[in-house]
Structure 1
Amino acid sequence: MTTTLTGQGMVLTARVLPKGAQQALEIWLATEQGPVKLITPVQPATCFVTQSAAAKVAAISQAQQLKASLKNLPLNTFTHEPVSVIKCPQDRQLHILRRHCEEQGVTLFEADIKTPDRFFMERFITSGVHYQGVGQQHDNTVVQARLKPSEYRCDLNAFSFDIECDEHGHLYSIGIASPTLNVVLMIGEPEDAELPFKIIWCANETALLTEFIRLIQHHDPDLLIGWNIKQFDLPVLHDTATRCGLKLALGRQHSNVEIKVFDDNRALVDVPGRAIIDGIEGLKTMTFQFDSFALDNVASELLGKRKLIDDPDKLGAIKKLFTHDKLALAKYNFEDCVLVNDIAEQVRLIDFLILRSELTGLRLGRPGGSVASFINLYLPKLHRAGYISPNRPADGGLASPGGYVMSSKPGLYQNVLVLDFKSLYPSIIRTFKIDPLGLVEGLKSPETAIPGFKGASFHRSQHFLPDIITNLWQQRDEAKRQQDKPRSQAIKILMNSFYGVLGSGGCPFYDPRLASSITLRGHEIMQLTAEWIKASGYDVIYGDTDSTFVHIADNVSAEQAWDIGKQLEQDINQRWQQRIAEEFDLTCELEIEFETHYERFFMPTIRGSEAGSKKRYAGLIRREGNTELVFKGLENVRSDWTQLAKDFQLELYTRIFNDQPVDDYVMAIISGIKQGQFDDGLVYTKQLRKPLKEYTKTAPPHVKAARHADEENARTGKPLRYQKRTKIRYVMTTTGPQVVEYCRQPLDYDHYIEKQIRPIADSILPAIGGDFESLASQQLGLF
């Protein structure tokens, strides 16, 4: 017996579902009572065309037998042409229509908006929904479902999984770690062991996959999380299932995993009913940066933990364990699953992704998505204002001016203050009403509009983006008060992405007048702020995007420096409020903050020049008796410098900032290198950015090292390890670069002194009257 069912849930996945000659949407929700599947009424594929071209589209549709319907709407393009809406029974037909329209020079608008995305955004649904439809009380499927937005949230059940296999994709084991199931499925004969997880022994790959599918279906997780699982684990499982004659039925109601692999080996993965969270994608979305996103490196930096196999030839070690010690391999496999869970917990990854979904409508497993976030938030508001979206520029768009960077005054300073504009670009958008709709409406009556740059004018009241940012800003302030770091971080990333979106040729709202009215206004604000500070009697030594570096005086206390900084903050904020009110008749949303006092500060020159560098400096901060050395753009924070160089720079700068002698230290480092005392710190680490065979025009040192290593591997019958994108750890020897494990020649110590130590010393020693050449010749004369 069917009945009307209502409820609430969180959207996990959504996809188009063919329904005869039409289509509906299949939407899976997570609820407190368990998963619910919604089937919507029919949802046609939708786009727009100018009314002047509607007849031509109708003719194309008829010729191709596509059954597209057209209807005039009270909507216009940004060039004020009235439009008609086009509706096709299925996405496939819209794709065909779009292709034929392109061939005949007819422009369709919003044809790249996917049907599920349009369904949610037009209803202002992001994550939570109220639903009503027809179903059975004891079934989790609701048909003819109607949805509206809700603030609903529930706990999600996540499984972390990881596979182990050989270089050909033949499976050895699959591990799962979760609050409800901790297990490793292993091919082999049963062995007894006391382990913190269960081992299920499987006869072969078919049995292994069958049991994995059974466990997923039985425990029914909402999320599957892992490390590089979209690009590696799931494609390998899919290929294995195909080879074994199985369906990879990991989706809810035993639906199959859908995988599309592109020529560059990127994979798009869809598992109906389960969100797929890739740890690497997630951390990148949270704006984490690491020298390497390898699980071992990230776990080491975030958790202080290392993987159980620490062998340069990891694949060889795994194959050896599978042959000789399957229990050790099971421990390694399970530990990888646990590390992913621990990393996700440490950074609150799932919380962040849920918040991002609630703010933007992006599904939990979607990486990046700045443009999609903007479209989701902006497009439905635009339609209700009587406009449709333009299309992305065919040529990718013209580059817009970047952030303001002033020439620096190099030198070694005492007492440098840094004043930062709080979220400068979002503040400019709020203050000067910079907005796509505002630009269209402002150009109608520029005499009463707010002037921008490159001919832009913005309407004073007809706009959406300033209000969207204001709402996000208020939510972030509230998140800060509640110390809700994931929410604060999600909002900050979203707000700061909007300038990049407007300046990106990948965004349909791209217009150089929009991006330039933000960045060039930023230039103006930074330059005028520097003039005001100089007029107060202080020296501005550098400026960068939203930060101004001010040298006040050598002979002031920390308390006096702080007072000066707070006074500058107050004066500048007052002057901007007054200027914007008088010049533009607007409320100023700009706010500069003083937060950093460098007791010592060093701004280097550009190498080989006397001109000051940009985006490179170091400074000493003292807080509550503790000191912190900050490096920006220098060798200490660059992944392509050796550990010895980083350690040398840290110690050298620490001594100089604390007025300690350095000559003996520099000579001791030179001597120690020559005597082989620092060999462990002389390793370079560099990533292959493309397959090894594609390096044809040039061969940088890490490429030469990789080729040498794989020549050795080929000669000794070992697998080639360096053919694809991978991290290369190599040293410079007297005969050239070699990877660490195949280093057969003496290290080239002169190379390290000249290329790693000298540049660091040469940049700062002259500031204290020192000279590396004299120290080096004095020390090298002993050898």
Structure 2
Amino acid sequence: MPFTIDILDDDRVLEWEATADGAVVTERDDYTPRFYVAARDPDADLDLTTIQSVYDQHPDVVTTEMVTRRPGFRRDEETVLAVDVAHIDRVTPLARQARQLSDHPVGDLVCFNVDFSREFRYCLETGVDPTPASELSTLRLGVPVTETSDDVYGEVSVAGDTVTGSPTDILTAVQGVLDAHDPDVLVCSTSEIVPTLYEMATEAGVDDFSLSRWPDVDYQQLASRSTYSSYGRVGHSPARYNVPGRVIVDESNTFFYGETNLDGVLDLVSRSKKPVQELAWASIGNVLTAIQICEAHDRGVLVPWNSWRHEFYKPMGTLHDADRGGFIFAPEVGRHENVHELDFSSLYPNIIRTRNVSPDVIRCDCHSDRDDVPGLGYSICDERGYLVDVLQPIIDARDEIKAAIRREKERDDPDEDRLTELEGRSGALKWILVACFGYQGFSNAKFGRIECHEAINAFAREILLTAKGRLEAGGWRVVHGIVDSIWVTPDPDVDDDDRDDLEMLATAITEDVEIRLEHEAHYDWVAFVPRRESDAGALTKYFGKVAGDGGFKIRGIEARQRSTPPFVEAVQRDCLERLDATRSPDAVLDRLQDAIKRLHAGTVPVEQLVERNRVSKPLEGYTQNTRNVAALKRAREQDLAVHPGQDIEYVVVDDEKTSRERVALVHEEIGSYDASYYETQLVRAIGSLLSPFGWDRTDIQQELSGVCEPELTDFG
């Protein structure tokens, strides 16, 4: 089973299989990728022979044939045109030509199986399993941020060792380690390492330098860098490169490898048929789509190039009722003792599984008179939906893996390597399950449908309301609830003898709704934080002391925010422990006062004050002189490329200024910092801890300065 596949420009394909003695390559020259053309309307009397004759004359087309396939889950088998192409790079241009034929009005023809990634397409069409049969060897190459804008590196990290010197020295060191380890996977801090090293070799006259395992090809550029927007956030996608015989993992462009580990990546490789390199750079939705495509392929269903599914007609009242999210109970701001958190296990995926919610069966014609979805009146066909078959194995696998993790942790001498593997796999599957619901409402999802999104939310609202009713009837008071989680505490108006056991209640609710309600945690106390400009509770900001293990659970406040400097996070966590030990805001303010004194004394290391923020637009796109703008100006001054969607790290040195002197980049020599600015950040962080107790930042600042607001009674 090959772990990577190279598709060369001369139409040859190289399959690389990892073995204990290194990689073995198999060369193929008979692979021809395929796409399909069909009528958009199944009832249209459309003659495909005309377009077949056009394609038959094209030099990039190997052959064409009429075959029977299903152009959609709701369509039966029909005759479609299959077009075999000489090279994988010609699939999209040739498919685009089908839309430009004058013999057919625009929109009459549609193309399928067009925009697949290269290696995934190969595995899907040839039946190759890209799951490695042997353990993959890994080598890391890295360069510091100060080197990323240069055409010649002066410093490179190779397998953890730093190499400096002339280009020849660096290239010799890289080649030596590469030859000694012969890795299957090259983990690079940035993908630009690949072309830059080759450019350095050319300039230095080093003819024998090569990262590749194939002597005829050094590397290929698969994609250029780009900026994109997703759910209101700007992201950056670096250029992608391929080195024959090796997997390239770009640390600046990998989700699953960064969020899990290689074990998690390999688990998804086996499920999605996307080889390691493509899985590493793929998004959650991309991998979920690949798994869905595999299921469609097994059912003989073609994959649309573009999503064109219309939203089914619905009355205005239904549209209003459907356009809602999950149910939320506003949290009761303040501190609550003896709180239990209950979570529905993988609620949305399990709604799909237990209620058979799938694009191919929602609002079916055969049961249009049924009201299967609560509050919306949508029908759901009795035939098992394809999405259930996609998610069922993932849900079952994650349950098994979580059980294995619990068993391993309960052992007297747990196997840490085994735990790392299991947690990586569990984490990877968790992300797929998290995305499966939202992807149904994504306009570009290959097989999504907005009615599925609406139905899942409708079932979720009913389930949470059912749980709330059963818990309150059993003598428990709900203090917060959001979508799939609910926090309860003993109802003080109910005698202990009359209160139902929480575990028994959870079991009864599980049986009722057919989705497991799990006891997630017991807290000695939980504090729900108010919104910044309101007394209402913030939905996702809370912190609490976990009963028994001495730890804390923190959500939403500064210690969990990625931009928070390490010093501010450490002080907030220290004050949280102090608050738990003393139950006294005054004791917390003593710790805050001490931290402020250290700031103004200049004893806090500058690396503890680094802020990390995402750049949302080019420098010219900003109209205000923010700290990000100051940092971008410094980066440009030093020829450092920071693209929209990437992070920039800096220390605030003088927040009164609006120029680039306001901040210093993290790699610069920083002699001082703006203590007053970081004092403000500390007060804000401690304000989050004390806000459930009625304190705000003004109260904290007055207490610190010894100033008290006079009251009218003081003048009596």
- TM-score band w.r.t. shorter chain: 0.7 to 0.9
From 657, 669, 680, the counterpart of 2:604: 680
Contact 1:541 1:550 in 2 (8 A): yes
Count of residues in Structure 1 that have an aligned counterpart in Structure 2:
640
Matched, 1:28 2:43: no
From 154, 157, 163, the counterpart of 2:134: 154
Contact 2:476 2:499 in 1 (8 A): no
Matched, 1:622 2:586: no
Q: What secondary structure, in the 3-state scheme, does the structure 2 residue paired with 1:94 have? A: helix
Contact 2:333 2:692 in 1 (8 A): no
Contact 1:702 1:730 in 2 (8 A): no
Q: What secondary structure, in the 3-state scheme, does the structure 1 residue paired with 2:583 have? A: coil
TM-score normalised by structure 2 residue count = 0.77
Structure 2: gaps of 5 or more residues: 40-45, 227-236, 313-321, 406-421, 710-716
How far is the alpha carbon of 1:592 from its aligned partner?
A: 0.3
Q: How many Å separate the matches in 2 of 1:207 and 1:401?
A: 62
Q: How many Å separate the matches in 2 of 1:477 and 1:744?
A: 51
CA deviation vs aligned residue, 1:83-119 (integer Å, no higher than 9, x gap): 4132233234433322222345232122113464234
From 457, 460, 475, the counterpart of 1:519: 457
1:604 counterpart letter in structure 2 = V
2:218 counterpart letter in structure 1 = N
Q: How many Å separate the matches in 1 of 2:423 and 2:429?
A: 10
Q: What is the aligned partner in structure 1 of residue 199 from structure 2?
A: 239
Structure with higher RCO (Cα < 8 A, 6+ apart): 2
How far is the alpha carbon of 1:560 from its aligned partner?
A: 10
Contact 1:353 1:364 in 2 (8 A): yes
Q: What is the aligned partner in structure 2 of residue 353 from structure 1?
A: 265
Q: What is the aligned partner in structure 2 of residue 278 from structure 1?
A: 250
Q: How many Å separate the matches in 2 of 1:561 and 1:642?
A: 49
From 3, 6, 23, the counterpart of 1:12: 3
Q: Compared with structure 1, are the counterparts of its residues 731 and 542 closer, same or farther at alpha carbon in structure 2 (3 Å cutoff)?
A: farther
Q: What is the aligned partner in structure 2 of residue 499 from structure 1?
A: 437
How far is the alpha carbon of 1:416 from its aligned partner?
A: 1.3
From 206, 212, 216, the counterpart of 2:178: 216
Q: What is the aligned partner in structure 2 of residue 662 from structure 1?
A: 585
Matched, 1:253 2:233: no
Contact 1:43 1:115 in 2 (8 A): no
Q: How many Å separate the matches in 1 of 2:673 and 2:246?
A: 52
TM-score normalised by structure 1 residue count = 0.71
From 441, 451, 469, the counterpart of 1:531: 469
CA deviation vs aligned residue, 1:602-658 (integer Å, no higher than 9, x gap): 1122223222211111111121xx422222101232233455654554454444444
Q: How many Å separate the matches in 1 of 2:245 and 2:630?
A: 47
Contact 1:688 1:703 in 2 (8 A): no
Matched, 1:570 2:567: no
1:172 counterpart letter in structure 2 = G
Matched, 1:387 2:301: yes
- Mapping for residues 314-333 of structure 1, pairs under 5 Å: none
Q: How many Å separate the matches in 2 of 1:269 and 1:669?
A: 49
Q: How many Å separate the matches in 2 of 1:535 and 1:780?
A: 46
CA deviation vs aligned residue, 1:311-348 (integer Å, no higher than 9, x gap): xxxxxxxxxxxxxxxxxxxxxxxxxxxxxxxxxxxx7x
Q: Compared with structure 1, are the counterparts of its residues 486 and 604 closer, same or farther at alpha carbon in structure 2 (3 Å cutoff)?
A: closer
Contact 1:765 1:771 in 2 (8 A): no
Q: How many Å separate the matches in 1 of 2:400 and 2:568?
A: 43
Q: Compared with structure 1, are the counterparts of its residues 496 and 47 closer, same or farther at alpha carbon in structure 2 (3 Å cutoff)?
A: same
- Mapping for residues 462-481 of structure 1, pairs under 5 Å: 462-481=384-403
- Mapping for residues 194-209 of structure 1, pairs under 5 Å: 205=167, 208-209=170-171
Matched, 1:87 2:90: no
CA deviation vs aligned residue, 1:642-681 (integer Å, no higher than 9, x gap): 5565455445444444453333652674587378257628
Contact 1:562 1:597 in 2 (8 A): no
Q: What is the aligned partner in structure 1 of residue 563 from structure 2?
A: 640
Contact 2:510 2:516 in 1 (8 A): yes
CA deviation vs aligned residue, 1:274-328 (integer Å, no higher than 9, x gap): 112334555x31563xxxxxxxxxxxxxxxxxxxxxxxxxxxxxxxxxxxxxxxx
From 130, 134, 156, the counterpart of 1:127: 130
2:115 counterpart letter in structure 1 = D
Matched, 1:99 2:71: no
Q: Compared with structure 1, are the counterparts of its residues 184 and 604 closer, same or farther at alpha carbon in structure 2 (3 Å cutoff)?
A: closer
How far is the alpha carbon of 1:423 from its aligned partner?
A: 1.0
2:51 counterpart letter in structure 1 = V
Contact 2:338 2:489 in 1 (8 A): yes
Q: How many Å separate the matches in 1 of 2:267 and 2:252?
A: 18
Matched, 1:597 2:522: yes
Contact 1:12 1:273 in 2 (8 A): no
* Percent of pairs with identical residues: 18
How far is the alpha carbon of 1:215 from its aligned partner?
A: 5.8
- Mapping for residues 644-723 of structure 1, pairs under 5 Å: 645-658=568-581, 660-663=583-586, 665-666=588-589, 669-670=592-593, 673=596, 676-677=600-601, 680=604, 683=609, 685-689=611-615, 693-704=619-630, 707=633, 719=638
Q: How many Å separate the matches in 1 of 2:559 and 2:274?
A: 37
Q: Compared with structure 1, are the counterparts of its residues 738 and 517 closer, same or farther at alpha carbon in structure 2 (3 Å cutoff)?
A: same
| Aligned-residue CA RMSD (Å) | 4.2
Contact 2:351 2:459 in 1 (8 A): yes
How far is the alpha carbon of 1:485 from its aligned partner?
A: 2.7
Q: Compared with structure 1, are the counterparts of its residues 516 and 743 closer, same or farther at alpha carbon in structure 2 (3 Å cutoff)?
A: farther
From 55, 65, 88, the counterpart of 1:61: 55
How far is the alpha carbon of 1:489 from its aligned partner?
A: 2.9
Q: Compared with structure 1, are the counterparts of its residues 527 and 418 closer, same or farther at alpha carbon in structure 2 (3 Å cutoff)?
A: same
2:623 counterpart letter in structure 1 = K
Q: How many Å separate the matches in 1 of 2:156 and 2:682?
A: 49
1:574 counterpart letter in structure 2 = E
Contact 1:734 1:747 in 2 (8 A): no
From 11, 17, 26, the counterpart of 1:38: 26
- Mapping for residues 757-776 of structure 1, pairs under 5 Å: 759-760=687-688, 763-766=691-694, 771-772=699-700, 775-776=703-704
Q: What is the aligned partner in structure 2 of residue 374 from structure 1?
A: 288
2:34 counterpart letter in structure 1 = T
- Mapping for residues 376-415 of structure 1, pairs under 5 Å: 376-393=290-307, 402-415=325-338
How far is the alpha carbon of 1:74 from its aligned partner?
A: 4.4
How far is the alpha carbon of 1:413 from its aligned partner?
A: 1.1
Contact 2:256 2:264 in 1 (8 A): no
From 660, 684, 690, the counterpart of 1:756: 684
Q: What is the aligned partner in structure 2 of residue 543 from structure 1?
A: 481
Matched, 1:112 2:115: yes
2:613 counterpart letter in structure 1 = Q
Q: How many Å separate the matches in 1 of 2:8 and 2:641?
A: 43
Q: Compared with structure 1, are the counterparts of its residues 563 and 696 closer, same or farther at alpha carbon in structure 2 (3 Å cutoff)?
A: same
- Greater displacement, 739-748 / 415-424: 739-748
Q: How many Å separate the matches in 2 of 1:44 and 1:383?
A: 17
Q: What is the aligned partner in structure 1 of residue 714 from structure 2?
A: none
Q: Compared with structure 1, are the counterparts of its residues 287 and 569 closer, same or farther at alpha carbon in structure 2 (3 Å cutoff)?
A: farther
Q: How many Å separate the matches in 1 of 2:531 and 2:611?
A: 24
Q: Compared with structure 1, are the counterparts of its residues 524 and 738 closer, same or farther at alpha carbon in structure 2 (3 Å cutoff)?
A: same
Matched, 1:363 2:275: yes
Contact 1:667 1:775 in 2 (8 A): no
Q: What is the aligned partner in structure 2 of residue 199 from structure 1?
A: none
Q: What is the aligned partner in structure 2 of residue 73 from structure 1?
A: 68
Q: What is the aligned partner in structure 2 of residue 297 from structure 1?
A: none
Q: How many Å separate the matches in 2 of 1:364 and 1:410?
A: 46
Contact 1:410 1:612 in 2 (8 A): yes
Q: What secondary structure, in the 3-state scheme, does the structure 1 residue paired with 2:151 have? A: coil
Matched, 1:171 2:153: yes
